[in-house]
Structure 1
């Protein structure tokens, strides 16, 4: 991972750079990040970059061949399907573990897919903040934007996806109790960038098929929803009172349609094939002679790593009633590839972020989100007890 760049970074690292980064976040958004931020970005060389985009392009090609109507009917209960026009997926996140290929090289291995938005505006801020506060980062030969975007055109690109043809006052970012979400810093970043309101789902007013929210005591019509509500979380809250359900027939444009959360997710992993995609099986279809010690058990519809079993057994599998809602995914070995100024190196999970381009009529890459860990699971919600771990961003070699 570009040893000369990493060694120079570590040698010249100062804690004050990291402290200034954290203060900048707090000053900009009114509070510190609710998840841990790593002390370092990741630097990805051209060879690994080519492997990553080879994998991404292979995935996109296969997505274009999948009959998502069949996926929808198979995996989404009728009672949860939204009657709104599905359209195209506005967002795609492709998660890779950066792994040892057994020959001393680093390669990406697909971990998960999500047709759901993530920290688009916070990542934009974070990339700039690293460059602003870390004079030790090389600025000429690395980038974190893709598709030839820059600081301004990136914002314009994501803005067009989220706002469409609507005025900001008629577009909302909808979340469930947004002030309590660990990712809330991105909500404030989105509001700051787009001028749209962050609205709790419980505060939306429904009148027939029309939706409204209250701003400064005035009832405003909602024409477009940038949806950040994860249905799994919604269904887990008992006695939740909302006038709007995600599967209601309402006069609103969804960014993105709620059903895409199910359709492009872990449920299609067994359908994908590529040298950088670990083999997966639906739990109700896996071979009886499969060596379970080489596989991870995952529920299809969960978030933040909930329900993952790293050590499945036949006895555990036998207790699962809805086997069609689980997969077995071959384990990958995250490489401790990031040399740190601590006793242990860090592992990396890279999330490549795509948005829908109307002019091209396809998804295109725009930025990345990077997570670092020294443990078995990479999840920034639980990374609190160490340093040089947490949320970050990758700079790609040109």
Structure 2
């Protein structure tokens, strides 16, 4: 997947430019605590078209009339939130870049979520790469002809809707100190909403409020960045603010139930050219003899925790809740990015916005570079040319 942009970038790359890029990236924002890769990912048009098709295949399943009934068991009983809406406002699909039998680079689905990702930061990241490395100004991280202006207009439409921005808050546990806090601050600066930790919010009856100086404001919408998995072992945090599982007079963007409905749980219901064979473990009649070609994933885990890459029969035998696991055919990443020190594997996250009353729209992307066994910071701590990045494409329809 060597493009003219890659050749130009590598020919002009230096460690000094990379350090300058990092300095520009968090200027005026909280310091970034995750690794950002030395380079963007350059996406050629043929791969872009495959990604678009892959996403459309998945969305067809999500839009099926019976999708909610198919995924009702995905929501743990103690984490179900009332007043669920008809569809998520965010969709994110992660694809590994692989090589098919014809030698073509193709996307293969790894995971998917009905939950927001770094929708603010990715735009800032793309612009900083372009500025710091003096890249072609026509390169874009956006799909569907979006620009910085039209993208953030759409993001504001989805998150704020008809409300006054001061009535809409971005919420997480200890939000200003989260690992991805820079995304929160970029988003807040672009659409004018408050960033609040859960303990900054008080409940009166079914209504939620926050206080800013002498002004007390009712919260009409929550841009939810709280992942229940992160607080499941200690819910005492709710005593300091409010319990999100209560019946509240507030709108969720997006509703927490969609985090579970659109997840690893969805994958066994998907079929298509870009989806690896995936089955609920309790529905696997015969354990494959080539287990080395499979990966075992717990349904209710976050950020790759609990995944078994080198599956052994005894791993399967000791699982007592097979209905909460999937057995997935392993995806073999191709080292598609040429770095100064060899090939690097890549993953692309397609990021959609789904406004109320409209269709989901593919907007922007996130990419990750890896040399480790898995994509993710914890698996790539000792390498260079790895970490979070963004895919840049030629600005064509």
TM-score range, shorter chain: over 0.9
Moved more, 82-91 or 231-240: 231-240
Aligned residue pairs total 393
Secondary structure of 2:7's counterpart equals helix
* Alpha carbons 1:304, 1:381 under 8 Å: kept: no
| Structure 1 residue 4: Cα displacement | 2.8
Is 1:272 the equivalent of 2:270? yes
Shift of 1:134: 1.1
**Which residue is equivalent to 2:286?**
288
Deviations 1:133-167 (CA, angstroms, capped at 9, x unpaired)? 111x2333x32111211111111010110101111
| Structure 1 residues 381 and 226, CA gap change in structure 2 (3 angstroms) | farther
Cα distance 1:26–1:234, how it changes in 2: closer, same or farther (>3 A)? same
1:196 is aligned to 2:183: no
CA distance in 2, matches of 1:180, 1:323: 36
RMSD, matched Cα: 1.7
Establish whether residue 249 from structure 1 lines up as the match of residue 263 from structure 2: no
Quote the offset at 1:21 in angstroms.
1.9
Runs (5+) with no aligned partner, structure 1: none
Find the partner of 1:350 among 327, 348, 351.
Answer: 348
Aligned: 1:366 with 2:363: yes
Query: 1:120 and 1:9 mapped to 2: Cα distance?
Result: 25
Mapping of residues 89-104 of structure 1, within 5 Å:
89-104=88-103
1:260 corresponds to:
258
TM-score scaled by length of structure 1: 0.94
Aligned to 1:224: 221
Shift of 1:230: 0.5
What CA distance in whole angstroms lies between the structure 1 residues aligned with 2:287 and 2:68? 32
After TM superposition, the structure 1 = structure 2 runs for residues 1-398 of structure 1, keeping only pairs within 5 Å, are: 1-29=1-29, 31-65=30-64, 67-135=66-134, 137-140=135-138, 142-237=139-234, 239-242=236-239, 243-290=241-288, 291-342=290-341, 344-358=342-356, 361-397=358-394, 398=396
Q: 1:321 to 1:289 in 2, by over 3 A?
A: closer
* CA–CA separation in structure 1 for the residues paired with 2:381 and 2:350: 24
In the superposition, relative to structure 1, how do residues 233 and 71 fare at CA in structure 2: closer, same or farther (>3 Å)?
farther
Change (3 A) 1:193 1:265: same
Give how far 1:217 is off. 4.8
TM-score when scaled to structure 2?
Answer: 0.94
Contact persistence 2:90–2:115 (CA under 8 A)? yes
**1:72 shift after superposition:** 4.4
* 1:357 CA displacement: 3.3
Q: Distance in 2 between matches of 1:139 and 1:101?
A: 32
Residues 118-146 of structure 1: per-residue CA shift (max 9 Å, x gap) = 101100101111111111x2333x32111
Give yes or no for contact 2:94–2:111 (8 Å, CA) kept in 1. Answer: yes
* Deviation sequence 1:264-289 (CA, Å, 0-9, x none): 11101001000110000101111314
Question: Is the CA contact 1:36–1:383 (under 8 Å) kept in the aligned structure 2?
Answer: no
Distance 1:381 1:228, change over 3 A: farther
SS in 1 for 2:331: coil
Name whichever of 202-211 and 346-355 sits farther off. 202-211
SS of structure 2 residue aligned to 1:395: strand
Q: How far apart in 2 are the matches of 1:341 and 1:66?
A: 49
How far apart, in 2, do the equivalents of 1:4 and 1:202 lie?
50
Deviation, structure 1 residue 353: 0.2
Shift of 1:382: 4.8
Provide the C-alpha distance between the structure 2 equivalents of 1:47 and 1:341, rounded to a whole number of angstroms.
25
Deviation per residue, 1:176-201 (Å, 9 max, x gap):
12234221110111121122111111
Partner deviation per Cα, 1:220-261 (whole Å, 9 max, x = no partner):
211100000001112123643434222210000100011000
> Structure 1 residues 206-215 or 108-117, which shifts more?
206-215
Aligned equivalents of 2:28 and 2:91: distance in 1? 27
Which is further off, 93-102 or 13-22?
Answer: 13-22
CA deviation vs aligned residue, 1:82-135 (integer Å, no higher than 9, x gap): 111423210000100001214332110000110000101100101111111111
Looking at structure 1, the residues matched to 178 and 305 of structure 2 have their Cα atoms a distance apart, in angstroms, of 16
